[in-house]
Amino acid sequence: MTVRTTHGGRRAVETNLREPETSTTVRPLTAGQRVARAARNGGRPTLEFTERVPYDTYVHASTLHTLQQPLSDDPGEMSFLVVSQIMELYFGLTCHELRQAQRDLRADRVWAALAPLRRATLHLEGLNAAWRGLRWMTPADFNRFRNLLGEGSGFQSAMYRHLEFLLGLRDPALIRPFRRQEQVHADLRAALAVPSLWDDVVALLARHGHDLPADLLARDVTDEHQPHPAVEAAWVRVYADSGPDNHLRMLGEALTGVAEEFGDWRWNHLKAVQRTMGAKVGSGGSAGLAWLQRSMARVVFPELWSARTAM
């Protein structure tokens, strides 16, 4: 354990940034081995291990709990920091699921794609629930440590950019802040160079017999998708068949769940900003609330929503 001095001259305690014991690999067990161990233990949990406990070997909890390094001794800052880190993990987890859905759709495995999309929706529900941990924060609460954040802003989250790019919200200018982080920048450039999930869905509709123009299917995927009447018409036709074997309709509903939860996250973000800083300028140089309001006008999977008017 070490003691450090914060920017305001206060002293704060933090743990050393290392894992307490030697890392080992998780040793697999069969069902029979688990039964035998339980019998030897008389039904009680195992309490003695020759090395690091297996849970920590797998989860790396001892590492996770060293990653919170608040810049002040204000008790509320820890909530802000932990919730931000939780959201980063959910961004990454949701991206993981959406990429799996992409692989399934590119292989025409529509039924298989439903599971990762449904999981992504549930992860986004968890992401939205994380905002509740900050509902206590008033402007006075935030102001106690806000200045110490400097220009740090959620706008600078690279994993959030990956999530936006996967969902079809694409602005190449938004990767510029990462130019000095070579690997992060390269990963974002690579994400922009491949089709979004929505691009893959549009291509799937075409392969399933829906008449979509060639220029739409061959467009530059680094540009943000613009709503197209042919895609809207395709979804109207898909939803016209309410039979139990219409996997495309099920896909539409799974995608709607993802888009709805993501839209809720953006709305919850806007409300959190209103609650904690009103219409002040953002820490990262943006107009803050006004910037978020403009960004919400960009709709995820737009034709899935507009098609409902014609259904």
Collapsing DSSP to helix, strand or coil, 283 comes out as coil
Q: Is 82 exposed, middle or buried (0-12, 13-18, 19+ CB in 10 A)?
A: middle
Looking at residue 65, its amino acid is H
Looking at residue 105, its amino acid is L
Cite the DSSP H helix spans in the chain. 31-41, 54-59, 61-64, 77-106, 110-130, 139-146, 158-167, 182-193, 197-207, 214-217, 229-240, 247-277, 289-295, 302-310
Residue 103 labelled as part of a binding site: no
Q: Is 306 exposed, middle or buried (0-12, 13-18, 19+ CB in 10 A)?
A: middle
Strand extents, DSSP E, the chain = 2-5, 11-14
Q: Are 273 and 262 in contact (CB under 8 A)?
A: no
Distances (CA, A) of 86 to 12, 123, 129, 166: 23, 11, 11, 20
Q: Residues in the chain, how many?
A: 311
**Tokens at 223, concatenated:** 């540009």
Q: Which residues pair with 3 in a beta bridge?
A: 13
**Tokens at 293, concatenated:** 């309001």
Residue 269 labelled as part of a binding site: yes
Closest CA to 67 of 78, 54, 52: 78
Annotated binding-site members for substrate: 146
Annotated binding-site members for heme: 269
Annotated binding-site members: 146, 269
